[in-house]
Structure 1
Amino acid sequence: MKKTLTILAALLLVSSFVFANGAQETAEKKQMMGVVTPSADHGFTAESIRHCEAQVKALSQKYGFDYHFMTAAESGEQSNAVETILVMKPDVMVLWPVNGDELRSAAQSVMDAGVPLIVYDRFITGLTPDAEISGDNIAIGEKAGRYFNDYFKEDLANGQVNYLEFKGDSSTVPMERTNGFLSTASGNFNLVQSFVTNWSQQTAMEQMENFLNTKSKDEIESVKAIFTHDDEIVFGIVEALKNYHGNAKINIRLVNGVSAGEGFMDLFENSGLEGIDFVTYTFSPSMVRDAVDLGLKVLQGETLEKSYKIPTDMVDKTNYKTYMESDLYKTRYGL
């Protein structure tokens, strides 16, 4: 009997130790932030990924939470990344979709699991996450439309002004930029042709070359402006124009970009194209840091607003040097 009691006491002691140790492990479990972004398919995304990971790492070290960071090139891969992180039971998820609508099911699974969801940049139609955050794409289009109106004021007074459009892709971002432009641009702007570049400098160059090599002399000479959705698209167009040696005269006077990156600053004085002006709008890769900051607010128990828009500013030859001295520019290139 005494031996039995001794064994029972030992078992109880072991059980107490296991229970206490398990309770201690549970108590010490850190909060976790899950982050899923596209992979680096072009320069802007590559810069953004560096900023995103740097911010997650810095905040994790400062505030003591864990994180799991994953990138993926395709929507299917992103969905798998979301599910992989969801198994880890994160306390908040930051999602930057390749294509919002294709991530609807994965995003819904996050919300169904009760995990706060922050969607950055490319939104998901019909889904209302805990917060959406992006650059103000509609404002970018609206400001571009007003800039075009002012730049071509005399031409518009005399009739139509023909332009080309080079979009990014089929996500909500290009849709908002185009709709913003159309909401403010004069009805006398006439769209000759629209292209979808998938944010590729090479694709934009090939599309512009094809336009110059296949259209009539009159069609080419009729174009006075180009509205694009990204600086890198502009770089492709510039190369195509510099390489053109046909018999048509290039009458393009204004090319619009978006991002206000370092490379674009060179175009204001060293584009190699006479008679063409450039304008762009701030859309910094460092904006993704703001999405991570919202994730931290969730971990700290704060209630988020449903929508956050990061303001944009115009940059052209009149103010680009001042812009390059700004905190926004220095943060962008501070890594």
Structure 2
Amino acid sequence: MVVSRTVSRKLLIAAGASLATVGLLAGCAAGTPTDTGTETGGGESTGGNDETGDTVVIGFSGPAADHGWLGAINSAAIAEAAKYPDIELKVAEGTNDANLQISQVETFVNEGVDAIVLLPTDGAALTEAAIAAMEAGVPVVNVDREFSSPFAARTTILGDNYGMGVSAGTYICEQLGDNPDAVIAEIAGIDSLPLTQDRTQGFNDALADCGLSVSNRVAADFTVAGGEAVTSQLLSAAPQIDAIWNHDDDQGIGVLAAIAAAGRDEFFMVGGAGSANAMREIQSGESVLQATVIYPSTQAADGIRLARLIAQGKVMSDLVEAAVPARIVLYAPVVTAENVEEFLPTAFES
């Protein structure tokens, strides 16, 4: 069943805010049941969600692909939609212009799409446009950068920025926790962004748990040039370092260049995001880069899958409360030489 354009604002708002109410919307139709399917309050648990159903039109608006991770977000979403013959995907031009993205959302609504997957260039700026889409009966799947209102999305899917910091800090604690005088450095992204603040907070909290703290901190701008420049400053200011956490593997290319130019190798480094080039550095065993923390570039691809389920009135098969959740936060695992082969095939290129 395709979600009707006449679904009321009240129902869609409730769907985004309460899993119990979500069951009334998403549970109205299920995929082909398996022999072990069981009835639940949220619908029927099924194993047939991948079977072709009614064709649904999904609008996708993402960022400009000016960063390896962002490019991977877009390409993964398009590739995921191509796997399903019952998805017609409308892709808006990637943009960092909030006003242009607002107009893209409005166009999707006017064209009568069945769902929208949106990674907003600015969550707050896109909130009203997303609310308007929801009011028009078009469910919105919010990816990565959150809207400022719970009424703006049926489902939100996020990477775990705080969890990235926790994972990085925990790994460093495992390596250096018996050295209370260890010198820890941090190379952040853009400090004004909540995601950077969350990563730093998680990192500090994890280090504090084993009695360590950050001694030297700089912030770059998620670019190669920015990473190289601030790392040069950091290395000049800190003659001895035991470990570095760099928030982003794209800027990490510049970070590693600065480290090589300085001839420093007395420390190990942990990266962030999980790029393929970072994983190859880890795999080589010849780099200061010893680990990286995943920030999944599959978020929009997952958003496409969830939008399909919602628009077709299907439910999730692996939950007792089978309705598509209102909020999903993806795990932030640590990749090391021991498990890099597991993660490398799906890593993005910087």
Normalising by structure 1, report the TM-score. 0.75
- In the alignment, structure 1 residue 66 sits paired with structure 2 residue 63: no
- Residue 47 (structure 1) aligned to one of 62, 67, 72: 72
Instruction: Summarize deviations over 1:118-150 as a string: whole Å, max 9, x none.
Output: 101111234342111122333222111111112
Alignment of 1:169-184 (within 5 A): 170-184=192-206
How large is the RMSD of aligned CA atoms in angstroms? Answer: 2.7
SS in 2 for 1:258: strand
1:319 counterpart letter in structure 2: N
Equivalent pair of 1:141/1:177 in contact (CA under 8 Å): yes
Name the CA shift for 1:279/1:47 in 2 (closer, same or farther; >3 Å).
same
1:294 counterpart letter in structure 2: L
1:330 counterpart letter in structure 2: P
Instruction: Summarize deviations over 1:160-191 as a string: whole Å, max 9, x none.
Output: 63413322564443233222222221253134
Name the CA shift for 1:95/1:301 in 2 (closer, same or farther; >3 Å).
same
- Residue 307 (structure 2) aligned to one of 295, 305, 317: 295
Equivalent pair of 2:204/2:214 in contact (CA under 8 Å): no
Q: Which residue of 2 aligns with 1:268?
A: 282
Name the CA shift for 1:79/1:268 in 2 (closer, same or farther; >3 Å).
same
- In the alignment, structure 1 residue 231 sits paired with structure 2 residue 257: no
Q: Aligned-pair distance for 1:297?
A: 0.6
Moved more, 160-169 or 284-293: 160-169
SS in 1 for 2:58: strand
Equivalent pair of 2:279/2:292 in contact (CA under 8 Å): no
Name the CA shift for 1:169/1:315 in 2 (closer, same or farther; >3 Å).
same
CA distance, structure 2, for counterparts of residue 78 and residue 139 of structure 1:
29
Q: Aligned-pair distance for 1:72?
A: 1.3
- In the alignment, structure 1 residue 254 sits paired with structure 2 residue 268: yes
Instruction: Summarize deviations over 1:60-112 as a string: whole Å, max 9, x none.
Output: xx12x433111213223222221222221222111111222232232222223
- Bigger CA radius of gyration: 1
Q: Which residue of 1 aligns with 2:159?
A: 135
Q: Aligned-pair distance for 1:151?
A: 1.3
SS in 1 for 2:300: helix
Alignment of 1:164-203 (within 5 A): 164-168=186-190, 170-186=192-208, 187-197=211-221, 199-203=222-226
Name the CA shift for 1:54/1:92 in 2 (closer, same or farther; >3 Å).
same
Name the CA shift for 1:77/1:210 in 2 (closer, same or farther; >3 Å).
farther
Q: Which residue of 2 aligns with 1:330?
A: 345
- In the alignment, structure 1 residue 147 sits paired with structure 2 residue 171: yes
Q: Aligned-pair distance for 1:251?
A: 6.5
Q: Which residue of 2 aligns with 1:307?
A: 327
CA distance, structure 1, for counterparts of residue 234 and residue 139 of structure 2:
47
Q: Which residue of 2 aligns with 1:18?
A: none
CA distance, structure 2, for counterparts of residue 332 and residue 226 of structure 1:
22
SS in 2 for 1:285: coil
Q: Which residue of 2 aligns with 1:84?
A: 107
CA distance, structure 1, for counterparts of residue 249 and residue 345 of structure 2:
18
Q: Aligned-pair distance for 1:271?
A: 7.8
SS in 1 for 2:258: helix
Name the CA shift for 1:185/1:87 in 2 (closer, same or farther; >3 Å).
same
SS in 1 for 2:298: helix
Q: Give ranges in structure 1 of 5+ residues lacking alignment.
A: 1-28
Normalising by structure 2, report the TM-score. 0.72
1:155 counterpart letter in structure 2: N
Larger helix percent: 1
Equivalent pair of 2:231/2:255 in contact (CA under 8 Å): yes
1:266 counterpart letter in structure 2: R
SS in 1 for 2:260: helix
Segments of 4+ moved more than 4 angstroms: 269-273
CA distance, structure 1, for counterparts of residue 194 and residue 110 of structure 2:
29
How many residues matched? 284
- In the alignment, structure 1 residue 283 sits paired with structure 2 residue 295: yes
CA distance, structure 1, for counterparts of residue 83 and residue 192 of structure 2:
33
Q: Give ranges in structure 2 of 5+ residues lacking alignment.
A: 1-53, 315-322
